[in-house]
Amino acid sequence: MAAGEPRRVGYLYVLPALAVYVAFLLFPLLHSAWISLFDWDGLTLGTWAGLDNYFTLFAEAGLRAAFGHALVLIVFFSILPVCLGLVLASALHRSRVRGLGFFRTVVFLPQVIAMVVVAVAWQQILAPDGPLNSALRALGLDAFAFNWLGEESTALIAVGLVGTWVQTGLTVVLFLAGIGRISGDLYEAARLDGAGVLREFRSVTLPALRPDIAVALTLTVISSLRTFDLVYVMTPLGGPGESTTVPAYEIYHRAFQSGQVGSAAAIGITLTVLVFALSAVVLRLAGGRR
């Protein structure tokens, strides 16, 4: 039913959803934009600050660091899972192995487990005397046994690797679905032309998966920008020496712990604009496929 007939009663059907949406999502977003224009501690009367809170985003070293950490996390949450997903999905498709359903179920599992649980589990695994370090020592790799989450140099990487663990399943499943849509004829033709594994991957799989790759990149980048639970639970207080503060954590910290509500709101609005822009890109790219 593409067009449907004109009916005023439609408004009544839409009204309840719209009311809740406006009251608890849209209005707070606009309110956030308003708050971001003030210097406000949440208690006393705020003072007008104009765009100062936004200028601070670039000027303040701590905040710049938070956005810098977000960029590092994007490598682990997005780039790495997409690369791994491409390799795994194309190898699986090529060899036509059995047990694909089981594999798909297993690698996707991290996506459905609460981030708090993921954080608690990995925190124990990465602990100074945890299983990872024990395994490294058993292999004689004592030099690589760190207090992963307790040292400034490794904490962010450790959080990032957990992100890789969470996101890879999503990319594998997404790419498997994408490869499934590629016509077998293309692969046959590549074979007849004498293409090897790499050649086949480069000239058949990769071009055909381009929309899926764009989708996967955007989704994982967005979720890395939104990362809060993982960082908050694995490295409380922003990690050793603030080495793991990210924008999402800064919002929470500023608004509810250090009384910089205006600045928190400005970070929130900036994050929303980023996420919105990326979503627009994915909608465009995904839409072009249909």
Partner 1 sequence: MTVSRWERVGTYVVLLLFAGYALYPVLWILLTAVRSDVPGQGGWHPENFLTAWTQGKFGSYLGTSLIVAVAVVALSALLSVLAGYAFGTMRFRGSGLLFYLLLLGVTIPSQAVVVPLYFDLRDVGLLDTYAALVLPQVAQSVAFGVFWMRAYFRSSSTSVVEAARLDGAGHWQILWRVLLPMGRPAVLTLVVLVFMWTWNEFLIALVMVTDEGLRTAPLGLRFFQGRATTSVPLLAAGSVLVALPVVVLYLFLQRHFIRGMLDGAVKG
Does residue 181 touch partner 1 according to CB under 8 A?
no
Cβ 264 to partner 1 shortest distance, Å? 5
Give 54-59's long-range contacts (Cβ < 8 A, gap of 24+). Answer: 54/266, 54/270, 56/263, 56/266, 57/266, 57/267, 57/270
Which of 100, 94, 76, 247 has its CA nearest to residue 159?
A: 76
Does residue 48 touch partner 1 according to CB under 8 A?
no
Does residue 45 touch partner 1 according to CB under 8 A?
no
* Dist CA 67 CA 69 (whole Å): 5
For residue 30, what are the contacts with CB-CB under 8 A and spacing of at least 6?
none
- Indicate the residue among 41 and 52 with the shorter CB distance to partner 1: 41
Cβ 68 to partner 1 shortest distance, Å? 18
- Indicate the residue among 153 and 279 with the shorter CB distance to partner 1: 279
Which of 110, 76, 94, 83 has its CA nearest to residue 244?
A: 76
- Indicate the residue among 155 and 271 with the shorter CB distance to partner 1: 271
Q: Which of residues 78-107 bind partner 1 (CB under 8 A)?
A: 88, 91-92, 94-97, 99, 102-107
Instruction: Count interface residues toward partner 1 (CB under 8 A).
Output: 99
Does residue 235 touch partner 1 according to CB under 8 A?
no
Q: Which of residues 4-33 bind partner 1 (CB under 8 A)?
A: 4-11, 13-14, 16-18, 20-21, 23-29, 31-32
Stretch in the footprint of partner 1 (CB under 8 A) among 62-70, 72-80, 140-148, 168-176: 168-176
List of E strands, 34-112: 38-39, 47-48
C-alpha torsion 206→209→210→216, nearest 10:
-120
- Indicate the residue among 61 and 185 with the shorter CB distance to partner 1: 185
- Indicate the residue among 17 and 61 with the shorter CB distance to partner 1: 17
Q: Is 4 left (phi over 0), alpha (psi -120 to 50) or beta?
A: left
Does residue 255 touch partner 1 according to CB under 8 A?
yes
- Indicate the residue among 11 and 58 with the shorter CB distance to partner 1: 11
Choice from 57, 65, 111, 186 touching partner 1 (CB under 8 A) = 111
Cβ 79 to partner 1 shortest distance, Å? 18
* Dist CA 101 CA 143 (whole Å): 39
* Dist CA 264 CA 248 (whole Å): 9
Cβ atoms of 215 and 286 closer than 8 Å: yes
Amino acid present at 212? D
Does residue 237 touch partner 1 according to CB under 8 A?
no
Which two tokens mark 278? 């990326």
Does residue 283 touch partner 1 according to CB under 8 A?
yes
Cβ 61 to partner 1 shortest distance, Å? 21
Cβ 115 to partner 1 shortest distance, Å? 6
Cβ 269 to partner 1 shortest distance, Å? 6
Sign, CA dihedral 224-217-222-165, equals: negative
Which residue do the tokens 């593409």 mark?
A: 2
